[in-house]
Amino acid sequence: MRKEYIYKRFERFWHWSQASLIIFLSLTGFEVHDSIHVFGYNNAVMYHRVAAYLLLGLIVFAIFWHFTTGEWRQYIPTFKKLKDQLRYYSVGIFKNEPHPTNKSALHKLNPLQVLTYLSFKFVLIPLVVFTGILYMLHKHIDDNSIVVISNIPLDSIAIWHTFGAFMLITFLIVHVYMTTTGETVTSNIKAMITGYEEFEPGEEEEKESKKKPTLAS
């Protein structure tokens, strides 16, 4: 097994903080909708708003980090081996076939993950954030008579925000399931805690190791 440092410190902090905030926002959001009763309605509204601002701040820092470190390149889409990746997740993974793509610090995501995370970052998160901001500021904006916003019914904003929230929860559930498809059930989660991931040596690595002279030779 070879070990490689894949996930940087801020990357791990961002990952777990974002997951925690999304889960907490879901809980408080359910209480605002009167689906559960944990914190009390008034507290749930306050906690939901505070968590939302924390998530916005985290997003800003994450964008800054991606562009200053060059990590944004991880999300450049490619269709190379996309079909192989789809086949692996639908069939190959159940036959214990080898993974069609190799992970490294420079290429952390396979082609399907890139497209999925792009959708998450450029469609799902903006939908939830934009509708959430409109939802929080709607009455204040109405008081200021800003026609552009006041013409958007609050019910429509709430529906789209709730839809986005349910899509986030769905993404989180699928994401947790996919973390169990590594070398072991917990290897991917462990990697996101320590930063290091272990890999079986690939064919090229095995060839190179065979070429290296031994002490006996």
State the residue range of the domain holding 186: 2-200
Long-range contacts formed by 91-95: CB under 8 A, 24+ apart: 93/181
Distances (CA, A) of 102 to 80, 106, 123, 202: 13, 10, 27, 8
Determine the pLDDT at residue 129: 93
Mean confidence (pLDDT) of the chain: 85
Does residue 35 lie in a domain region?
yes
The CATH number linked to 20 is 1.20.950.20
With pLDDT > 70 as the criterion, what percentage of the chain qualifies? 85
- The secondary structure of 5-31, three-state, reads ECCCHHHHHHHHHHHHHHHHHHHHHHH
Does residue 52 lie in a domain region?
yes
Report the C-alpha gap between 188 and 185 in whole angstroms: 8
Does residue 166 lie in a domain region?
yes
Determine the pLDDT at residue 70: 93
Does residue 207 lie in a domain region?
no
How many domains does the chain fold into? 1
Does residue 211 lie in a domain region?
no
**Residue 181: phi, psi to the nearest 5?**
-100, 20
Distances (CA, A) of 211 to 4, 184, 206, 214, 217: 22, 30, 9, 9, 11
Residues 73-93 pLDDT 10s: 999 998 889 999 999 988 988
Pick the most confident of 49-58, 100-109, 203-212.
49-58
Determine the pLDDT at residue 145: 53
> Rounded mean pLDDT of 62-68?
95
Per-residue pLDDT band for 151 (boundaries 50, 70, 90) equals low
> Rounded mean pLDDT of 24-41?
93
Report the C-alpha gap between 78 and 76 in whole angstroms: 7
Does residue 208 lie in a domain region?
no
Determine the pLDDT at residue 201: 61
pLDDT of 212 above 70: no
Per-residue pLDDT band for 214 (boundaries 50, 70, 90) equals very low
> Rounded mean pLDDT of 9-19?
96
**180 compared with 2, residue with greater pLDDT:** 180
For residue 117, what are the contacts with CB-CB under 8 A and spacing of at least 6? Answer: 75, 109
Does residue 193 lie in a domain region?
yes
Give the amino acid at 212: K
Does residue 196 lie in a domain region?
yes
